[in-house]
Chains A and B, each alone.
Chain A
Amino acid sequence: MNDLEEVGRLWADTPEATVRDLAGSRAALVARFDRPRRGWSAALRWRAALSARRVALVGAMAVTLTAGVLVAEVGLGGSAEDSPGHLIAAPPADAKTLLVLAARAASAQSDLVPAHGQYVHTKRLAQNSLYTKSASGETQYTEVLVNEERWEAADVGKPWLSRVESLSATGPAPRKYWDRGLEDILYESASCPGRPAYARLGAWPTDPAQVRAKIVADTGEEPLRIWTSLQGLVRESVVRPSLGAALYQVAAGLDGIMLVPDAVDVAGRPGLAVAMDGGDGTRSELIFDRQTYHYLGERTVQLVDEKVDVPGDADYVARKGDASGTAVLAVEVVPGLPEVSPKASRMKIPC
């Protein structure tokens, strides 16, 4: 027996931890899932540091999504004649006014109320940032468009489905690094109260003061932390506009919000945005339709070149103007789950 094997035998019969041993650690982790992190923007970036020799310059071309976007825009309400925007000639002068108008528009919408057995289907277009390295070690940026869909059961205890599929990319990253085909995850847990989003949001109040108090209980009073929490809640609350209205009113009271009059969501739709500087070289935006003031999506934009330290040989530079975010394309009630991919991952996640 060599020395390494001798070391390997030391306390070798220490057992792996049981579920019971790990219950405390797991509970601490799960409790963190809904808590916003200080100063952490909600944007997703794929910070893949890929081996230089594996990354070839392929010059991928973007594939536009115009048709899908136009259909969805109509589906989301467009600019109806009785919309608040139609009645107001001038655009809102500041972020607070925009949020008040957005709250009013959301209040006029009905919450989706799926019947037992039905599902709430949401479809989003996500723009992700994929960072790779060239053979010379230079950071390369690829913008990836991803279809993200969820089917969330009206009933607690039913399975629900999350689906993602990369659609196109603009940038040098080889396709194998961004296109993983259609990826389904079927969550079979669902005996947890409060998951998924539809069930969780149903328990939220819609009075702005109560909503604020509930958020602040987690975040404290720092505006940026409240904003970060709001972003996530707004993204999910498309299924429940009455909550969205309260969230916009909470946002209207935050110091540091600003109006972006010429925002564009990741689906290319022009809009008005309320933004906040993340203090980390990024700005995050909630984007609303210019005329209806309905929520279109959210986006995080890199304001300055930023060297991002990643352990190992994976540091990269996020460039000014890099953006990521999501655009809401459809929210609807459907009778059931779609056909699930035979390669779907099935997950049972205890509460």
Chain B
Amino acid sequence: MIMVGPAVAEATDADLIRRSVREPETFATVFDRHAPALHRYAARRLGPDSAEDVVSETFLAAFEHRRRYRLGQADARPWLYGIASNVIGKRRRREVARYRAYVRGGVDPAEITGGPVEDGVGTLAVNGPLVAALAGLRAGDRDTLLLVAWAELTYEETAEALKVPVGTVRSRLNRARRKVRQALEGTDHE
């Protein structure tokens, strides 16, 4: 007999990943939970064409290494975004080239889904220096900045994702933000 109750307890990511070692199909639920947002994050960094590849590579790698998931961590996002950061890192030149193409104004608008900032001051004049600053960051600083600003991970989650101490996240973020501020101040003075 099946008991039907209105309240359905939701298994944590850790529960699903542990279970998926013997029941691989449960890993599909981890995909369904996190792939849409991870795709968006990858699309913002590399463009929509590469985003699907990043998602695919990330989840295949995650599935292969699921036995080593830290079960103490209920939320799989730091783990998944950490893998995604490595996957994106292999396309670093493409990412930087994309930012620079945008700064030059030569990017095909269709490639940047939704366009840049949409409000009244959302012009290339404002965003160009910002994107140029992103392009000029060290890879680790950019990963840190964008995991916080775009993936909305906490400092601790970012540290977990990038396998660095929280102190390193703070220092990387300070460095990246300083460069971003400098870029924005340069815009104000123009």
Q: Name A residues whose Cβ lies closer than 8 Å to a Cβ of B.
A: 3-4, 6-18, 21-22, 24-26, 28-30, 32-34, 37, 44-51, 126, 148, 159, 162, 164, 177, 180, 183, 185-187, 195, 308, 310-312, 314, 336-347, 349-350
Whole-angstrom CA separation of A11 from B68 in the bound complex: 34
Q: Which residues of A contact B110 (CB under 8 A)?
A: none
For B6, give the chain A residue with the smallest CB separation.
A342
Question: Is B138 on the interface with A (CB-CB < 8 A)?
Answer: no
Contact A10 B131 (CB under 8 A): yes
* Chain B contact residues, majority secondary structure: helix
B24 adjacent to chain A (CB < 8 Å):
yes
Mark interface residues in B145-168 (1 if CB within 8 Å of A CB, else 0).
110111000000000100100000
* Contact call B180/A22, Cβ cutoff below 8 A: no
- When chains A and B are docked, how far (Å) is the Cα of A8 from the Cα of B117? 10
Are the C-beta atoms of A17 and B11 separated by less than 8 Å? no
Give the residues in chain B near A308, CB-CB below 8 Å: 68
Q: Does chain A have a CB within 8 A of B87?
A: no
Q: Is the CB of B1 within 8 A of A336?
A: yes
B36 — which chain A residues lie within 8 A by C-beta? 16-18, 22
Summarize A's interface: helix, strand, loop or mixed.
Answer: loop
Whether the Cβ atoms of B70 and A15 lie closer than 8 Å is no
| Inter-chain contact B15/A180, CB cutoff 8 Å | yes
Q: CB within 8 A of A7: which of B19, B37, B180?
A: B180
Q: What chain A residues lie within 8 Å of B113 (beta carbons)?
A: 11, 14-15
Please tell me if the beta carbons of B67 and A47 are within 8 angstroms of each other in the complex. yes
Q: Which 6 A-B pairs have the closest CB atoms?
A: A17-B39, A33-B24, A13-B114, A16-B36, A25-B56, A48-B71
Judge whether A339 and B114 touch: CB under 8 Å.
no
Given the known interface contacts A14-B44, A26-B28, the answer about A47 and B68 at a Cβ–Cβ threshold of 8 Å is yes
CB distance from A174 to the nearest CB of B (A): 11
Say how far A161's CB is from chain B's closest CB, in angstroms. 8
**Size class of the contact patch on chain B:** 35 or more
Q: With a CB–CB cut-off of 8 A, which chain A residues contact B145?
A: 7
Cα(A8)–Cα(B134), bound, Å: 12
Query: Given the complex, which residues of B lie within 8 Å of A187, measured CB to CB?
Result: 25
Q: Which of B117-145 contact A (CB under 8 A)?
A: 117-118, 122, 127, 130-131, 134, 145
- Any A CB within 8 A of the CB of B171: no
Interface string of B91-133 (1 = CB under 8 A from A): 0000000000000000000001111111000100001001100
Least CB distance, B62 to chain A, in whole angstroms: 9
Contacts of B184 in A (CB 8 A): 3, 6
A342 and B31 in contact, given A17-B40, A44-B22, A185-B11 (Cβ under 8 angstroms): no
Is B26's CB within 8 Å of the partner chain A?
Answer: yes
* A-B contact list, 25 entries, CB within 8 Å: A4-B177, A10-B150, A13-B118, A14-B43, A16-B36, A25-B31, A25-B59, A26-B28, A29-B27, A29-B31, A29-B56, A30-B28, A32-B24, A33-B24, A44-B67, A47-B69, A48-B70, A159-B2, A162-B23, A177-B71, A183-B11, A336-B1, A337-B1, A339-B1, A346-B8
Candidates B56, B130, B181; contact of A10 at CB < 8 Å: B130
A47 touches B71 (CB 8 A): yes
> Cα distance A22–B19 when bound, in Å?
23
Given contacts A44-B67, A49-B72, A185-B26, contact A344 B40 (CB under 8 A): no
B19 touches A162 (CB 8 A): yes
CB pair B56–A28 under 8 Å, yes or no, is yes
In angstroms, Cα B1 to Cα A21, docked, is 38
Instruction: Chain A residues near B28: list those with CB within 8 A.
Output: 26, 29-30, 33, 349-350
Give the residue among A45, A308, A311 with the most B Cβ atoms within 10 A. Answer: A311
